[in-house]
């Protein structure tokens, strides 16, 4: 009897397990496996960790790899420093009980998130275009034309510009998550604070912020995973060669060029898989640090 | 009543269609291509011309986006779902397909006799023993200029470098036009329309290109650094914010009449004819001193081959024989001015700008882009690095000498003849 009652668990789990295995687990392990091979003269043979040694040891590869990784960290840093504080601020404003048209603002700020990367990349390229763009015209109108530069074409600014475009696109997500967290704080707690003389700013810092910290943690980890898997925006705006002078090259574009090839560069699925595995490892380490070092220390409150 | 008639009509057409198919045993050939711009030309003129002469063979042209073509084609070939006829990129991309058994050997195709060795070189094994694609067309590099602007400013068409920069200075001084329409955002223009456009005059075309492959010259030699030195001077003549100017931006700046000179590839001709409402002319890359021999980049760009796994190989070979014929050459070159036939038979072209470009074949020596054959096989990839170096040099973030040295070091790191 006991054994028969367990079979149905497997039956019910089977569809999800099978689909997930076929489209997630298999490709993942196959990628990891592919990274251990090499193709010479049309035949594939096992080379162990040689591809990783090349990736990290051969200056032709490691230069590009560290450059992409560094750019990725900068991309992530801009998101953490700009997107999440703005998201929190917007959520705090939106949750203000006396704000009018809150639903309109919420929708307007969230809309870019559902736009395709291609549209966002193309639109911003047009806005910032030194030839037809409205950015130089608008700066000119307020007498700040001198501040304009062809940002996407300058090594020093291109990556930051793209990161800010990405922030513009995705600021709606932290805003929504934190907005939801703020709404779930019971009125009684805030009222109890008011009685103790904690109002306004100090209510935000002392009551609301500690209560939304878990949500901020989740957002940080989502941002981290999203940024280290990013590819689309850079590809749409700067192309696979991630110009100028590889200054916007992140792991995603580096992987694309290596795996699929570019122009005369033939695709190398084995080196490509090695890069993909490295990305997987980096993200895994990042998520582990979060899970074990940060999340366990976050205090949760039950209402 | 109405729907009934429609239904019977549909039914009748289905019956007729299936009867036709059953009766003639039609073979349908599918062509893989990256030239989605040419879809209407294939459908309206090229395919009907072939089908008229070859009853029983139907042809479908199914292009994909240029940037995705190589990756998409490789996946389709691996999965066995690729078309019968494969449009071939020049050199290694196609050579890899041949070596991998994806493209059939076409050396014994009768039409191959209609092509010179240089025309076939882009689709042959390194030893030249096997040819696997029928050459279709090449593109020629040079400069397209706005004739009205030149007349207005009283500028003669430059033939030497000094005249070229004098003309640019004059246009800049006048201020009505941007002297030259080129940006560095997309990178490839700087290498393709910059370095490989003006370079052959310095490295003497095939002579220098082959010497580089053999390891007798290096990228730090004067002949290979001097074109970078010229590119570095271009910076002052490009429009404001050229760093973020894209390829379509440059095309539009020129066709809107806002720029006077456009470093070009001949593939622009049909698009420019449709867009620009002023008269255009073209000149070949200016030489150092008056009377010097001139060299042009006449790059073998497009060919067509046979999927080795095609079940319709016989019909496909008939199509390929036809692609190698003078009839196709004339049809293609006139439908797509700027894609010049590689067929040995001379082709009459109606377009004046295309005539101008092709006339350089008579007075200059032809070569192909220096990075395409053999030299872009390793890591770092010489073609990608040349894009990067050309952009850096134009922007002034790298000196011509440093760029040459970096490329040479990269090439020498994997290419034995250069070590």
pLDDT in tens, B241-252: 999 999 999 999
**Closest alpha carbon within chain A to B239:** A131
User: What pLDDT band is residue A198 in, cutting at 50, 70 and 90?
Assistant: confident
Question: Which of A125, A130, A263 has the CB atom closest to B240's CB atom?
Answer: A130
Over residues A66-85, the mean pLDDT reads: 96
| pTM for the whole structure | 0.85
User: What pLDDT band is residue B1 in, cutting at 50, 70 and 90?
Assistant: very low
CA distance B185 to B92: 26
Average pLDDT, chain A: 90
Suggest the residue from B95, B244, B375, B397 to mutate for an interface test with chain A (most A CBs closer than 10 A).
B244
Q: Confirm or reject contact between A62 and chain B (CB < 8 A).
A: no
CA distance A223 to A122: 23
Question: Which of A130, A263, A264 has the CB atom closest to B244's CB atom?
Answer: A130
Q: Which residues of A touch B249 (CB under 8 A)?
A: 129, 131-132
Q: Confirm or reject contact between B372 and chain A (CB < 8 A).
A: yes
Question: Which of A125, A150, A263 has the CB atom closest to B241's CB atom?
Answer: A150
Burial of A184 (0-12, 13-18, 19+ CB in 10 A): exposed
- What local confidence, expressed as pLDDT, does residue A3 receive? 55
Question: Which of B96, B244, B392 has the CB atom closest to A266's CB atom?
Answer: B96
Q: Confirm or reject contact between A139 and chain B (CB < 8 A).
A: no
Q: Which residues of A touch B96 (CB under 8 A)?
A: 266
- What local confidence, expressed as pLDDT, does residue A42 receive? 72
Q: Which residues of B touch A130 (CB under 8 A)?
A: 239-242, 244-245
8 Å CB contact between A218 and A177: yes
**Closest alpha carbon within chain A to B372:** A264
Question: Which of A152, A153, A263 has the CB atom closest to B383's CB atom?
Answer: A263
Question: Which of B70, B245, B387 has the CB atom closest to A261's CB atom?
Answer: B70
8 Å CB contact between B313 and B305: no
Q: Confirm or reject contact between B244 and chain A (CB < 8 A).
A: yes
Residue positions counted in chain A: 303
The answer, yes or no, to whether residue B414 has pLDDT greater than 50, is: yes
Average pLDDT, chain B: 90
Q: Confirm or reject contact between A106 and chain B (CB < 8 A).
A: no
**Closest alpha carbon within chain A to B250:** A131
- Check if the interface score ipTM surpasses 0.95: no
Q: Which residues contact A284 (CB under 8 A, 6 or more apart)?
A: none
**Closest alpha carbon within chain B to A132:** B249
CA distance B301 to B338: 11
**Closest alpha carbon within chain A to B240:** A130
Q: For chains A and B, what is the number of CB pairs under 8 angstroms?
A: 107
| Region for A45 from its dihedrals, namely left if φ exceeds 0, alpha if ψ lies in -120 to 50, beta otherwise | beta
Question: Which of A128, A240, A244 has the CB atom closest to B184's CB atom?
Answer: A244
Suggest the residue from A152, A248, A263 to mutate for an interface test with chain B (most B CBs closer than 10 A).
A263
| A241 to chain B, closest Cα gap in Å | 8
Q: Confirm or reject contact between A40 and chain B (CB < 8 A).
A: no
Over residues A8-23, the mean pLDDT reads: 92
Residue A164 structure tokens:
């800010």
The answer, yes or no, to whether residue B16 has pLDDT greater than 50, is: no
Q: Confirm or reject contact between B377 and chain A (CB < 8 A).
A: yes
Check A244 against B185: CB less than 8 A apart. Answer: yes
CA distance B364 to B298: 10
The answer, yes or no, to whether residue B18 has pLDDT greater than 60, is: no
Check A245 against B392: CB less than 8 A apart. Answer: yes
Dihedral in degrees, nearest 10, Cα atoms B382, B388, B393, B394: 130
Suggest the residue from B64, B239, B243, B256 to mutate for an interface test with chain A (most A CBs closer than 10 A).
B243
CA distance A178 to B271: 51
Over residues A178-194, the mean pLDDT reads: 90
Check A60 against B249: CB less than 8 A apart. Answer: no
Check B246 against A150: CB less than 8 A apart. Answer: no
Q: Confirm or reject contact between A262 and chain B (CB < 8 A).
A: yes
8 Å CB contact between B254 and B167: no
Check B185 against A152: CB less than 8 A apart. Answer: yes
- For chain A, give the percent of residues with pLDDT over 90: 64
The H or E element spanning position B145 is strand B133-146
**Closest alpha carbon within chain A to B101:** A42
CA distance A169 to A109: 9
Task: Report the alpha-carbon angle A139-A142-A147, nearest 5.
Answer: 40
Q: Confirm or reject contact between B281 and chain A (CB < 8 A).
A: no
pLDDT digits (tens, 9 = 90+) for B294-324: 999 999 999 999 999 999 999 999 999 999 9
Ranges A46-50, A95-99, A289-293: which has the least confidence: A95-99
Instruction: Give the position of tokens 């939106």.
Output: A94
The answer, yes or no, to whether residue B384 has pLDDT greater than 70, is: yes
Q: Which residues of A touch B395 (CB under 8 A)?
A: 244
Q: Which residues of A touch B186 (CB under 8 A)?
A: 239, 243
Residue positions counted in chain B: 419
Helix A269-288 to helix A251-260 angle (10° resolution) is: 160
- What local confidence, expressed as pLDDT, does residue B155 receive? 94
CA distance B360 to B364: 6
What is the DSSP track for A125-186?
HHHH-TTT-HHHHHHHHTT-GGG---GGG-TTTHHHHHHHHHHHHHTHHHHHHHHHHHHTS-
Strands (E), B92-191: 133-146, 178-180
pLDDT digits (tens, 9 = 90+) for A237-272: 998 899 899 999 999 999 999 998 888 888 888 999
Q: Is the dihedral of CA B221, B222, B224, B229 positive or negative?
A: positive
């Amino acid at each position: 009897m006991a054994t028969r009652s367990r079979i149905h668990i497997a039956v019910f789990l089977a569809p999800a397990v099978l689909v997930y295995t076929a489209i997630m687990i298999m490709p993942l392990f196959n990628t990891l496996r592919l990274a251990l091979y090499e193709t010479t003269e049309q035949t594939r043979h096992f080379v162990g960790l040689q591809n990783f040694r090349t990736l990290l040891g051969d200056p032709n590869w490691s230069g590009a790899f560290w450059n992409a990784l560094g750019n990725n960290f900068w991309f992530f840093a801009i998101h953490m420093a700009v997107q999440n504080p703005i998201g929190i601020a917007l959520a705090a404003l939106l949750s203000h009980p006396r704000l009018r048209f809150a639903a309109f603002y919420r929708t307007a700020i969230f809309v870019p998130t559902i736009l395709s990367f291609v549209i966002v990349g193309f639109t911003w390229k047009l806005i910032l275009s030194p030839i037809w763009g409205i950015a130089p015209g608008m700066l000119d109108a307020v007498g700040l034309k001198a501040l304009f530069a062809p940002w996407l074409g300058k090594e020093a600014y291109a990556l930051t510009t793209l990161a800010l475009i990405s922030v513009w696109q995705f600021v709606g997500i932290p805003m929504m998550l934190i907005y939801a967290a703020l709404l779930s704080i019971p009125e009684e707690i805030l009222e109890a604070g008011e009685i103790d003389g904690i109002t306004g700013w100090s209510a935000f810092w002392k009551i609301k912020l500690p209560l939304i910290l878990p949500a901020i943690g989740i957002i940080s980890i989502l941002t981290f995973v999203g940024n280290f898997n990013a590819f689309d925006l850079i590809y749409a705006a700067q192309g696979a060669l991630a110009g100028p002078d590889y200054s916007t090259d992140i792991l995603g574009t580096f992987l694309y060029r290596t795996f699929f090839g570019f122009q005369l560069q033939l695709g190398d699925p084995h080196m490509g898989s090695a890069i993909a595995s490295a990305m997987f490892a980096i993200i895994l380490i990042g998520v582990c640090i979060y899970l074990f070092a940060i999340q366990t220390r976050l205090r949760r409150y039950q209402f | 009543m109405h729907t009934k008639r429609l239904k019977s009509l549909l039914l009748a057409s289905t019956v007729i269609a299936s009867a036709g198919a059953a009766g003639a045993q039609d073979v349908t050939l599918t062509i893989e291509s990256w030239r989605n711009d040419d879809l209407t030309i294939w459908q309206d003129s090229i395919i009907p011309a072939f089908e008229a002469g070859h009853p029983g063979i139907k042809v479908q042209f199914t292009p994909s986006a240029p940037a995705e073509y190589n990756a998409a084609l490789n996946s389709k070939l691996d999965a066995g779902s690729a078309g019968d006829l494969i449009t071939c990129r020049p050199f290694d991309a196609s050579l890899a397909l041949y070596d991998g058994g994806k493209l059939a050997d076409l050396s014994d195709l009768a039409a191959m006799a209609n092509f010179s060795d240089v025309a076939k070189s882009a689709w042959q094994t390194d030893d030249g023993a096997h040819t696997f694609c029928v050459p279709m067309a090449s593109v020629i590099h040079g400069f397209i200029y706005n004739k009205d602007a030149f007349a207005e400013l009283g500028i003669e068409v430059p033939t030497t470098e000094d005249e070229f920069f004098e003309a640019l200075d004059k246009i800049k001084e006048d201020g009505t036009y941007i002297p030259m329409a080129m940006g560095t955002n997309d990178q490839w223009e700087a290498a393709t329309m910059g370095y490989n456009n003006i370079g052959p005059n310095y490295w003497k075309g095939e002579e220098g290109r082959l010497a580089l492959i053999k390891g007798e010259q290096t990228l730090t030699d004067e002949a290979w650094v001097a074109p970078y030195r010229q590119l570095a001077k271009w910076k002052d003549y490009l429009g404001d914010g050229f760093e973020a100017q894209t390829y379509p931006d440059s095309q539009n700046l020129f066709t809107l009449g806002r720029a006077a000179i456009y470093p070009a590839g001949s593939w622009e001709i049909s698009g420019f004819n449709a867009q620009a409402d002023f008269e255009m002319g073209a000149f070949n890359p200016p030489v150092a001193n008056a009377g010097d021999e001139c060299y042009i980049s006449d790059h073998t760009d497009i060919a067509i081959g046979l999927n080795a796994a095609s079940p319709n190989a016989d019909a496909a070979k008939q199509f390929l024989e036809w692609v190698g014929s003078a009839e196709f050459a004339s049809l293609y070159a006139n439908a797509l001015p700027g894609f010049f036939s590689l067929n040995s038979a001379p082709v009459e072209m109606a377009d004046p700008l295309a005539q101008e470009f092709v006339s350089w074949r008579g007075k200059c020596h032809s070569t192909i882009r220096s990075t395409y054959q053999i030299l872009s096989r390793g890591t770092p990839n010489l073609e990608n690095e040349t894009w990067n170096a050309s952009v850096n040099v134009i922007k002034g973030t790298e000196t011509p000498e440093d760029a040459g040295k970096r490329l040479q070091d990269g090439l020498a790191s994997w290419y034995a003849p250069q070590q």
